[in-house]
Structure 1
Amino acid sequence: MSFAHLSVIWWFSSFANSATLQDAENLHQMLKNRSEYDRFIVPLLNQSQNLEISLSLSLSGSDVEFIEIENKVKILVDITTQWKDETLNWDPFEYGFLYQLPIVGDWVWRPQTLIQIPQNDRSKMDQIVEGDNKELEMILRSDGSVHRHTSLGLSLFCSIDTTNFPFDKQSFSFLLSIAALSSNLKFSNTSACQSVGQDSGNPKWTNLQVRHEILYSRAAIKCVVSMERKPLFFVINIILPVVLLGFLEVLVFLIPADAGEKLSYSVALLLSYSVFISFVSDNIPEDSDNVSDLFFYVIFQFFIGSLIIFCTTLQLRLYHRNDEEDIPILYKYIVKFVKVLTCRCRACTKSKIESSSMDGEQVTDPGNPTTSVQEKHAPSKYRKTSRAMRRSKTRGDLTGGARLPVSVKTSHAGDGRLTWQNVSSAIDFVLFWVFLVVQVVLNLWFFYPAYRE
């Protein structure tokens, strides 16, 4: 009879001869009543050899909770431990083909796995995986291998670096070792720390990464866990409102001084920053070594808002000065500089308008090349006149004097003495562009590194 036929016969006989309750009870009593078994001695027939322990630590992203204010992290881990007890084995054929047996109790030798947890004072607190639980469940197989599974909640010290908050990435580590006086207990090469499942259940953190390193000649395992923060909540509730407030502050220089709302507008925006400063400080740890860039960003915006209030106050005092007071040379240069900038822009626009109007002003008659058809003009009552022309016309009508030419009237209208109102308007123009550039540079400094990462 071939080997294949024997395998088929054995497979059918295994179902025919299934283990009964009496077989399980007999096997349990036989293993528990062994006189030569001692649960305090490493279960090796040759004590000079090493007993390898396979440990697997699993961690899910939904089981990680960072407490930034306390510099702590809470995790829930699943630990699976396997080893081989050379004194606990049996012949499955004698017990109804029973290959494994679930056992409960403290009469079986088991390794005490320690988790070394770092504390605030840089010390380490050891915590036994199974603690003092004597009713620990295990699975014993016929070849002597033991399988143990347990879940454990840990609270670890974590030095949280919030420099790049809310675009930061946090990591923490801990050690796994074996509590034993003998040196013949080692972790196997299959021992590992790994992540399981999806981290979509964590509303604050994502991209869980778990790695491990076997240390001290397989006497300890170092597990390193890292996660990235989800920044969308902080972008919508902090960053975006602060950015919009920063650009709204610049618009204070576009409000006319006669409106009487410049100072109250800037003060209202400045008070809004105090709300965001308190909100940021409540969500990051009180650490002077690693201060968040977002905190600096809000403080800079608060400082810019204070500077805008200072400039607005001075600008309003200049606007309400008496025109009989002399204007310093510095203010005259500022007004001249603004006029040069605005006149160049107006000159470019005027040249484009004149070039387009000259193209359609005169049309040559093909029948008579010497004559040209003039453009039709609207009646004088529909023509638009300037304010200076209307004032001069009204003044001439009232006095009954002779009307001056249009060129003379417009020249008199343009000859105006420099006033403090002109100085205030020029300063508004300069400050608007200065603070607008400052806002653009400040936002690039803060957002470009996060965008590059």
Structure 2
Amino acid sequence: MPRNVKSSDPLNVGIELYLMSIDEINEVRQTISIIAFLEFTWTDTFLAWTPFEYSNITSINVKVKDIWTPDIVLESTLDKQTDLLDKDGNAIISSDGSVLMWPYGRYTVSCKIFIGQFPFDEQTCVFDFLSWTFPSSNIVLNSSSTEISKKYYKESGEWTLKRGKVISESRPTGEDTWDHVVFTIELQRKSLFVVLNIMLPIICISFLNTFCFMLPSDGGERITYCISLFLTLAVFMTIVNDSLPETSDEVSKFGVYIGLQLIGCGLSIIATVFSLYCYHKSDHKHVNVCVQFFVRAMCVSRCHHTSRQQDINNVDENTSNGEFITAASATIVECDTCLSDENGTIHQSPPITWKMVSFALDRLCFMASIVWHVLLISVLLVVMVS
């Protein structure tokens, strides 16, 4: 039984929380820190006096260490629970025995951080106050409000305070019940900074990877270009992962997107290497029938036939009386496959070379890369909005 009551009735202690600012939310440690001051009120019957007998004094200020105080603690705190009430602080005592205290400080508690929707995530953190040694039969905790007061609150640059709820409840513990006053803070991340500085650069870099298949194979810069984009995505992935909790309970959807883009970039490097291998392969080596069918399916042979025929015409214009035949025209004569134009004239199609195979592979990878990036960004937007 608290020593400040004369009857067997439980002592009523009122608790209010006045939030001033969100100091820090540490996603890696999964903690939240706030700057706030509390308001504790109770009635100590041993401290009451008659104002008429003491020069009409109705209230006094005394040191907290000089009076009895309830042992209210903050559950799941990372600080010492006994430091909730500052013994060097002051308390206001009225003539009717009511005591008022306003402890001020930085309160840190553990808070489960859900990162699935990062950077559009919402977090809910709880500040639970209870008596450390007195059950409900001795001390009753309550709050007169249902919402956390925002009178002194200053908006955070990273988080938006959506709502602050207050709940007073009793929980059974052992053979008795214990009163709790729970302050629930609902926060939403301000995502503009992350979108502009992380999301948009990653999406743009990912799309840049598509255009590596449009670079000329004989330029010598394709592999360097692909590897540079791969390393850039790896750096951005490291930056994102460093700001997220080290846990496997939940994975950020945006982190999965970066990982898939990194895999796609790696596949682009492999495809580029294989394309360059085909490009620099000797044209005298035979091309398999299946590969020839793939090249024609990519509409490469007709394009190369047109360009080769233009080269022949240009050469013929510079020759006199048809005295010689170019190597390109000789190559066409050796082809086994024939094409007919709109006038019915039969022309021999050009042979399938390994350079044409390289060109067909680049065309296929370019189209596949466009589909890959559009599909990933569409899925990312859907899961982020939902």
**TM class, shorter-chain normalised?**
0.7 to 0.9
Aligned to 1:447: 381
Aligned to 2:39: 80
Aligned to 1:416: 350
Decide which of 153, 157, 161 is 1:207's aligned counterpart.
Answer: 161
Question: Which SS does the other structure have where 1:335 is aligned?
Answer: helix
Question: Which SS does the other structure have where 1:333 is aligned?
Answer: helix
**Structure 1, residues 134-167: CA drift from partner, whole Å, max 9, x if none?**
x431222233322211113223222322222222
Once the two structures are superposed, the pairs formed by residues 177-216 of structure 1 within 5 Å of their partners are 177-181=130-134, 183-188=137-142, 190=144, 194-197=148-151, 201-216=155-170
Q: Does 1:170 align with 2:123?
A: yes
CA distance in 2, matches of 1:215, 1:159: 22
CA distance in 2, matches of 1:77, 1:284: 26
Answer whether contact 2:4 2:45 (CA < 8 A) is retained: no
Q: Percent identity?
A: 25
C-alpha spacing 1:198/1:441, structure 2 compared with 1 (3 Å): farther
Question: Which SS does the other structure have where 2:117 is aligned?
Answer: coil
CA distance in 2, matches of 1:118, 1:179: 13
Aligned to 1:289: 249
C-alpha spacing 1:168/1:181, structure 2 compared with 1 (3 Å): closer
Aligned to 1:49: 9
CA distance in 2, matches of 1:420, 1:184: 89
Question: Which SS does the other structure have where 2:19 is aligned?
Answer: strand
Aligned to 1:322: 282
For 1:223, give the aligned amino acid. F
For 1:127, give the aligned amino acid. T
Aligned to 1:299: 259
Which segments of 5 or more consecutive residues in structure 2 lack a partner in the other structure?
171-176, 304-308, 325-340
CA distance in 1, matches of 2:302, 2:85: 80
1:200: Cα distance to partner?
5.5
CA distance in 1, matches of 2:2, 2:10: 16
Question: Which SS does the other structure have where 1:322 is aligned?
Answer: coil
Once the two structures are superposed, the pairs formed by residues 339-354 of structure 1 within 5 Å of their partners are 339=299
CA distance in 1, matches of 2:178, 2:245: 36
Mark the structure with the bigger radius of gyration: 1
Question: Which SS does the other structure have where 2:188 is aligned?
Answer: strand
Aligned to 1:362: none
Answer whether contact 1:113 1:128 (CA < 8 A) is retained: no
1:253: Cα distance to partner?
0.9
Question: Which SS does the other structure have where 2:76 is aligned?
Answer: strand
Q: Does 1:241 align with 2:194?
A: no
For 2:61, give the aligned amino acid. P
TM-score (norm 2): 0.80
For 1:425, give the aligned amino acid. F
Aligned to 1:147: 100
Question: Which SS does the other structure have where 2:45 is aligned?
Answer: coil
For 2:19, give the aligned amino acid. L
Q: Does 1:70 align with 2:35?
A: no
Answer whether contact 1:117 1:125 (CA < 8 A) is retained: no
For 1:136, give the aligned amino acid. G
1:301: Cα distance to partner?
1.4
Aligned to 2:62: 103
Decide which of 223, 229, 251 is 1:263's aligned counterpart.
Answer: 223
Answer whether contact 2:63 2:89 (CA < 8 A) is retained: yes
Aligned to 1:390: 314
Question: Which SS does the other structure have where 1:395 is aligned?
Answer: coil
C-alpha spacing 1:258/1:412, structure 2 compared with 1 (3 Å): farther
1:438: Cα distance to partner?
0.3
CA distance in 1, matches of 2:300, 2:286: 22
1:100: Cα distance to partner?
2.8
CA distance in 2, matches of 1:103, 1:136: 8
CA distance in 2, matches of 1:146, 1:341: 93
Q: Does 1:220 align with 2:180?
A: yes
For 1:175, give the aligned amino acid. D
1:198: Cα distance to partner?
7.3
CA distance in 2, matches of 1:246, 1:445: 15
Answer whether contact 2:5 2:44 (CA < 8 A) is retained: yes
**Structure 1, residues 406-442: CA drift from partner, whole Å, max 9, x if none?**
x9xxx79874322222222122111101111001111
Answer whether contact 1:77 1:153 (CA < 8 A) is retained: yes
CA distance in 1, matches of 2:60, 2:301: 92
For 2:165, give the aligned amino acid. R
Aligned to 1:27: none
CA distance in 2, matches of 1:192, 1:76: 20
Q: Does 1:277 align with 2:215?
A: no
Give the superposed CA RMSD: 3.4
1:80: Cα distance to partner?
0.4
Answer whether contact 1:81 1:148 (CA < 8 A) is retained: yes
For 1:214, give the aligned amino acid. S
Q: Does 1:159 align with 2:112?
A: yes
1:287: Cα distance to partner?
1.2
Which segments of 5 or more consecutive residues in structure 1 lack a partner in the other structure?
1-38, 344-384, 401-406
**Structure 1, residues 186-244: CA drift from partner, whole Å, max 9, x if none?**
12451666142576642222225322322217722122223222222222222212111
Aligned to 1:358: none
**Structure 1, residues 370-429: CA drift from partner, whole Å, max 9, x if none?**
xxxxxxxxxxxxxxx9654332222245649xxxxxx9xxx7987432222222212211
Aligned to 2:337: none
